[in-house]
Structure 1
Amino acid sequence: MMRRSKTKSKKSPLRFRLNLLLFIAFLLLAILVAQLGYLQIVYGDKFEAEIESTDKTVVSGNVPRGMIYDSQGRTLVGNQAENAITYTKSISVSSGEMLVTAQKLTNYLTVPDSKLQKQDVADYYLANSDHYKAILKKLPRAQRYTATGDNLPESKLYHNASKYVIDQMKLDLTAKQKQVAIIYSKMASAFQLSTVYLKDDQVTQTEIAEIGEHLSELPGVGVGTNWTRSYPNGNTISSILGNVTTEKQGLPADTLKEMLATGYSRNDRVGNSYLEKQYESILRGTKSQKQVTVNNNNQVLKEVTEYAGTKGSNLNLTIDSNYQTKVEQALQSNFMAAKRAGATGYSDGAYAVAINPKTGAILAMAGLQNNPKTGKITDDALGVINRTFVMGSVVKPATVLGALMSGVITPNNTTLPDDAIYLPGTPIKKSWYPAGTFSTMTAQRALEISSNTYMMHLALLEGHATYRPKSYIKMDNDIFSKMRGNFEQFGLGYKTGIDLPGEVNGFLGSTTNEYDQVKYGSALDLSFGNYDAYTMIQVAQYVSTVANGGYRMEPYLVNSIQKTTESGKKGDVIYQHQPVVLNQVAFTSAQLNVVKTGMYNAVNGTDSYGTAHALKGLDPKVAGKTGTAQSFYYDQDNPNNPNPPETTSHSFIGYAPADNPKIAIAVMFPNFTKSSASTYTMNLAKQMFTDYFKIEGKD
């Protein structure tokens, strides 16, 4: 009896424990079932909604840029539509999936052969998952794991793998593989839900047809159109019009942050020079907007165009392309004639600009840059605004008007000695004709025959100088600021405000020597235009100020801006330029008449010493002023040459009709080696006036 009782007492606790565990398990299962039931009943709809939830994203698309027209409505810059094969990158697409698509696409599409970067080749190779896994196994442990033994981030792993491929493997792609790699690199460069062009030039009809038939097998690939800039008028003012970046170039690096902040994408094509850049915000238009709906699996469910976008607005220029072409041809032919005559051995080009003196509208801009060493000639119309030249005697009208305004001469008494200036230790300072030819000179005649000595005597008067031949002169220490203050009123030496980026100021020579003494001799040189340097657009603005009676007008190229209609034609005018007066020069009509008479006589006078008689007989009558400046050829490869070759620069300014100007011009042929080179300057000026009135009419 005692033994049974002991056995029974040992089994009872074990059975109790097992029953307790079973009860707890049952209880937990019941709680779990109850909780699942509760969630299903109370939150089932919510969870189902989350599973079926979608996300909406707005995707922007580019629109064609605005057109650029000349003053007569001729197209200078247009858009040419091209067939294109596109790729839109979905949110969930993998590298392997893009590689498969690229491989299939090469069966129907041939892309232009382009140089693949090493990184492009590595990306193409690693897009194959088997290749990627194999490379990872070859990497040292330190390039796969952290110091604590954790896996490196995927981005770091990929970086190490691609570096291994670039450094350790010499992949020699077949022609077929190279085509796949090129297409894949373009696909990979796209952002999620953005579209890139796989081929947008010379896409054949066969390629379009075959890809169209197999679009279901090519996820993301589409057939569309792209546009490129076209130039129906050829290279006319091409350097002024500027350029647009390619999709690959995208935004310029120097303005990347600013443009991204204003809604641009990195691969947007934008104007990167001159008019295309200056008016980028006008020409770019407004991007289209498409709302894309995606589900939780990042599959695109629906695309809805919310805003079709608007094409860029159009620019209407002040330039008549027919006249512009005539000016370019005349500049080219005269420079080539000078070149054949051996006058351009050290010349760095030739430049011309025509302007409406009453409004500031640019009528033509042309330039050639010549490489003296190679003889290569390139278009350089922009040299009109970004190159400076010592202009010579064309500044003399400003010198005379400055003297009249300061009161050292009066309209009724402009007679001064025409004696040459003799200073110690320097060559004689005189005019182009022999010293002593004339004893006295009026301002009108000084302009007609281009007297340097008369201008120097004006400077002596303005500087209250005491002058004795062969003795040092002493002038007011502010003589430079006085004379330059007069020139500044005409815009000489300072930016004009033309609506083109890249304009420069003039170059003003030093006013003191190494001993901090005022360079009085250089002040005399300044009086007849042989010291400071100015741009051609500054000189054109200056002669316009003389021609129109004293109003310094701001030069401009864009006359108006028009919207583009849905059909692509010009729509409403949204901007019309109004002439801008920058300042009015405070001379009287009597003072101006002194200068205008001298400039008229320089062309139409009877004095045998007149310098611009080559233009006599033009109808309508022309008033003008010639200029010659002494210079030296600067060789950048031999800057310390003690004996640089001497050259002369030849210039001309003028306006017509002389009594009611409609056109003012400035011409420059720098650094010629023969004195007869002024012939080409005058020939060009004559052609510019003749062609203008032939095209525009005399009325």
Structure 2
Amino acid sequence: MAFLLFAGLVTQLAYLQISNGESFAAEVNRTGTTTVAGSVPRGEIYDAKGRIMVDNKAEAAITYTKNVSTPAEQMYTVANRLANYVTVDASSLRERDIQDYWLANPKNTKRVNKQLTKKQRKFKDNKLYKVQLKVAKTIKISLTPAQKQAAAIYKIMNGATQLSTVNIKDQKVTQKEIAVVSEHLTSLPGVNLGTNWEREYPNGKSMNTVIGRVSSEKSGLPSESLMSYLELGYARNDRVGTSYLEKQYETALRGSKSQTEVTLSSTNQIAKQVEKYNGKKGSNITLTIDSKFQAKVESIVKTQFNKALSNGNAALSDGAYAVVMNPNTGAVLSMVGFKHNFKTGKLDEDSLGVINRSFVMGSAVKPGMVLGALQDGVITRTNNTQSEDPIYLKGTKVKSSDYPVGTYSSMTAQHAIEVSSNIYMMRLVMKEAGVSGNDYIPKQRMRMNSDVFEKVRGYFNQFGLGLKTGIDMPGEVAPTAGKKLNEYGVLNTGAALSIGFGNYDPYTLIEMGQYVSTIANGGYRMQPYLVQSISQSNSDGSTQVESTTEPNVLSKIGNSNADVNFVKQGMWLVGHGTDAWATAKVLGNLNPGVAAKTGTAQSVAHVNPEDTSSAPVDTLNISLVAMAPAKNPQITVAVVMPNVSLSSHGYTKDMTHDIIQAYYDMYHVKKVSGYSSTQQTMP
């Protein structure tokens, strides 16, 4: 019987050898192909004049490409050898990393396996490793400094996916390390010399918060959006823009990875590599901002804040912010912000605050209030005179203007803008709210239509106040309007009145920039943007423009050109009026002349700004919006300095004056012959 079985086995083997020998040989020599992607340099960022703002700094790197099914023992050996040639940072090693490295040593694995049951030893792959790791945790593992270096290298190797390349060391690689590793590459399978890049900022920290950041290879893809990136073909250790412009324009800046076809042998070793596509460097983006003008505006803003600080007017102030725009296109020409660091007493760069910090801006919104009233029909350009009697609500302080009660008996709309009459704007709100006859009895009652908030805010919305502007970067905050009802659930009439002169709802400075630009260009709400174009640098040094941002009109206000010019005339008088209460005569000496509106809003800070439970202190938010030149505006300016002392009003005026003068000087804006600072009519 045994003989028969043996004879049958021999016969079957002969059949297989004769009939299927070729197919078995082919299987032994079988190869497979796969495609490996390689990284390319990220696109640069330039200013409006072609000056580089964000560059790539190339640095030498020592890399490791993980093969298919690379055993831990091989990585352990390579890590130990490589640790003799390079120095890496081992400070971030965790206990688990040390255990992984220790278990990669076959001697240690054998030691651990002796403590496993027969059943456990039969476990496969991850299941077996889990029980081995459990035993390793009970063993006190002590590594020498050299072994810790090797463990740090092993950690990087072990974390790489199959056929992916990672950097073992990509910063401060010495020439000696490059030379020694190069000499020993044959004994370091998978290790190679490569190039790494880091973002470099020739202009220093200017606009860094707006430009944003790029992740490191170590941090890789952001965990909160990991799956979406992986679906787009990213590797886990790929570098991506993690914030603001770097993130918003990630698709353009990242470029196209190189493609290498890798042929694997039947033992899953790399048999052949052929580059199919050498990749395409990321596209460059050009900003609307001139870095020299940006630097000038930064200097002006910082100077005015420091002046306020040294005068004792800004000890509790949050900082200072400014934005300059082209009102005809929406292009942002300068975006500056400095946040007051109360711990250090210094100013931290915070250009991003222009879009993500909101403040009650005060009277700068009054031109919009007048234009809304003209739309509503409660006043006309020829019939707009109102009483200057202050408003008395029950149980509250008198609601009046900055100048003494009784200074004026009545007021026109343009005069109200010139001297910044709060009373005039409150009476416009009353008219829009349907207040008439017995609806208002001083110190007794004020009855308004319940839709007054929606109506007034609706007009402001047409200019962009109370709405996101749509600027081309993430992080713009959604405006938060004040409450309609008071603590008793009744319509808050006092707050409704305050909206009219800008003392209730908060706005971001980019909203203020969009708002004044809408007035400046005749009524078109333009979408602000920071990126002018996207282009690709060709190998011959030429540039190919891939896309250009076109001005985008979001909406048109419901006013006629005559209405807009009527309000501009009032804004002209702010700097050129002869009334002693005109609010910004310092702007009158700018030639060509400008139209503007100042703003002051009541605010509250704390004795200790970092402790909201500390004693409250009354402060002011001071702001200003302007268009220059007034006749055919090339720029608009919006500035704010929150929480200054009650005695300080001039800093934003000087700030705006100097910004406009800097623009005139830098871009050679011609002076108007025969110009007068007291010229009453806007040219």
TM-score normalised by structure 1 residue count = 0.92
Q: Distance in 2 between matches of 1:640 and 1:617?
A: 45
Structure 1: 5+ residue stretches without partners: 1-20
The alpha carbon displacement at 1:637 in A equals 6.8
* Number of residue pairs aligned between Structure 1 and Structure 2: 666
| Cα displacement (A) at 1:113 | 4.4
C-alpha separation in 2, matches of 1:187 and 1:296: 23
- Residues 14-45 of structure 1 deviation map (CA, whole Å, 9 limit, x = unaligned): xxxxxxx5xx72x5554444433332222211
User: What corresponds to 1:14 in structure 2?
Assistant: none
Q: Does 1:436 align with 2:409?
A: no
Deviations for 1:211-260, whole angstroms, at most 9, x for unmatched residues? 11111111111011111111112111111000000111111111111111
Q: Give the residue type in structure 2 aligned to 1:47.
A: F
Q: Which moved more, 1:417-426 or 1:550-559?
A: 417-426
Counterpart in the other structure of 2:253:
283
Does 1:601 pair with 2:573? yes
Q: Is the aligned partner of 1:61 residue 2:38?
A: yes
Specify whether residues 570 and 633 from structure 1 end up closer, same or farther in structure 2 by C-alpha distance, changes over 3 A only. farther
SS of the residue corresponding to residue 616 of structure 2 reads: coil
Partner of residue 213 from structure 1, selected from 180, 183, 193: 183
C-alpha distance after superposition, 1:564-589 (max 9, x if no partner) = 3236x563111111100000011112
8 Å Cα contact 1:443/1:594 also seen in 2: no
CA drift at 1:315:
0.5
Q: How far apart, in 1, do the equivalents of 2:6 and 2:113 lie?
A: 45
Q: 1:373 to 1:232 in 2, by over 3 A?
A: closer
**3-state DSSP of counterpart to 1:616:** helix
1:313-328 pair list within 5 angstroms = 313-328=283-298
Is the 8 Å Cα contact of residues 513 and 519 (structure 1) preserved in structure 2?
Answer: yes
* Cα distance in 2, alignment partners of residues 179 and 432 from structure 1: 70
Q: Distance in 2 between matches of 1:138 and 1:672?
A: 72
- Tell me the residue number matched to 2:52: 75
Correspondent of 1:117 among 75, 94, 98 = 94
Q: 2:107 aligns with which of 130, 133, 137?
A: 130
> In structure 1, what is the equivalent of residue 623 of structure 2?
651
Secondary structure of the residue aligned to 2:355 is: helix
Once the two structures are superposed, residues 399-435 of structure 1 have per-residue CA deviations (whole angstroms, 9 ceiling, x without a partner) of 1111111111111122111111112210010000000
Range with greater deviation from structure 2 (601-610 or 107-116): 107-116
How far apart in 1 are the matches of 2:635 and 2:549?
19
Residue 529 (str. 1) matches residue 507 (str. 2):
no
Q: Deviations over 1:595-651 (max 9, x none)?
A: 10110110122221110111111122111000000011257876566x621111100
Q: Is the 8 A contact 1:66 1:564 kept in 2?
A: no
Question: Of 442, 451, 465, which aligns to 1:469?
Answer: 442
Q: Counterparts of 2:455 and 2:69 in 1: how far apart (Å)?
A: 73
Query: What are the Cα deviations for residues 655-683 of structure 1, in whole angstroms up to 9, with x where unaligned?
Result: 1010000100100000112422x221112
Of the three residues 394, 399, 404, the one matched with 1:424 is 394
Aligned pairs (5 A) from 1:468-507 = 468-507=441-480
Give the Å deviation of 1:64.
0.8
Partner residue in 1 for 2:77: 100
Q: Which of the numbers 578, 583, 601 marks the counterpart of 2:550?
A: 578
Alignment partner, residue 226 of structure 2: 256
Give 1:632's aligned residue.
604
1: CA distance, partners of 2:5 / 2:452: 105
Letter in 2 for 1:431: S
Identity %: 50
* 2:664 alignment partner AA: F
- 1:468, distance to aligned residue in structure 2 (A): 2.9
Q: Does 1:690 align with 2:667?
A: no
Secondary structure of the residue that 2:26 maps to in structure 1?
Answer: helix
Retained in 2: the 8 A contact 1:623–1:656? yes
Contact in 1 for aligned 2:316/2:609 (Cα 8 Å) = no
* Alignment correspondent of 1:397: 367
Amino acid at match of 2:63: T
| Cα separation, 1, equivalents of 2:139 and 2:642 | 57
Which residue type is aligned with residue 668 of structure 1? V
1:516 aligned to which of 482, 489, 514: 489
2:136 to 140, 146, 165: 165
On the 8 A contact 2:342/2:609 being kept in 1, the answer is: no
Tell me which stretches of 4 or more aligned residues in structure 1 moved more than 6 Å. none
Distance in 2 between residues matched to 1:407 and 1:392, nearest whole Å? 24
Residues 359-378 of structure 1: pairs in structure 2 closer than 5 A: 359-372=329-342, 375-378=345-348
Residue in structure 1 matched with residue 564 of structure 2 by the alignment: 592
Q: Look up the SS of the partner of 2:446 in the other structure.
A: coil
Return the offset for 1:152.
3.6
Question: Which sections of structure 2, spanning at least 5 residues, go unmatched?
Answer: 671-683
1:272 partnered with 2:242? yes
CA deviation digits over 1:335-375, x for unaligned, max 9?
11111111122211211111000000000111111244653
What secondary structure sits across from 1:408 in the alignment?
A: coil
Q: Report the secondary structure of 1:404's partner residue.
A: helix
Cα distance in 1, alignment partners of residues 186 and 334 from structure 2: 55
> In 1, distance between residues paired with 2:125 and 2:158?
17
Question: Residue type of the partner of 1:524?
Answer: L
8 Å CA contact retained: 2:618, 2:646? no
Letter in 2 for 1:537: I
Cα distance, 1:123 vs. partner?
Answer: 1.0
Deviation at 1:551, TM superposition (A): 0.2
Is 1:395–1:528's contact at 8 Å kept on the other side of the alignment? yes
Q: Tell me which of 423, 446, 455 is aligned to 2:425.
A: 455
Matched, 1:232 2:202: yes
Cα root mean square deviation, aligned: 1.8
Task: Indicate the SS of the match to 1:159.
Answer: helix
1:7 is aligned to: none
Q: Deviations over 1:284-314 (max 9, x none)?
A: 1111111111111122110011111111111
Distance, in Å, in 2 between the alignment partners of 1:456 and 1:242 is: 42
**What is the distance in 1 between the residues matched to 2:364 and 2:51?**
35
Aligned to 1:668: 640
Residue of structure 2 equivalent to 1:17: none
Alignment-mate amino acid for residue 399 of structure 2: K
SS in 1 for 2:338: strand
Letter in 2 for 1:280: E
Match of 1:675, SS state, is coil
1:566 aligns with 2:570: no
Q: Would the aligned equivalents of 1:314 and 1:570 in 2 still touch at CA under 8 Å?
A: no
CA distance in 2, matches of 1:543, 1:248: 45
Q: Deviations over 1:160-184 (max 9, x none)?
A: 3334434x34434222111111111
Aligned partners of 1:75 and 1:596: how far apart in 2?
A: 38
Matched-pair contact (CA < 8 Å) for 1:362–1:556: yes
1:302 aligns with 2:279: no
**Aligned-partner Cα distance in 1 for 2:293–2:646:** 30
Question: Does the Cα contact within 8 Å between 2:327 and 2:635 map onto a contact in 1?
Answer: yes
**Are 1:312 and 1:564, in contact at CA under 8 Å, matched by a contact in 2?**
no
Q: Distance in 2 between matches of 1:582 and 1:104?
A: 63
2:339 counterpart of 1:385: no
C-alpha distance in structure 1 between counterparts of 2:582 and 2:139, whole Å: 79
Q: Deviations over 1:441-489 (max 9, x none)?
A: 1111110111111111111121121323222111222111111111010
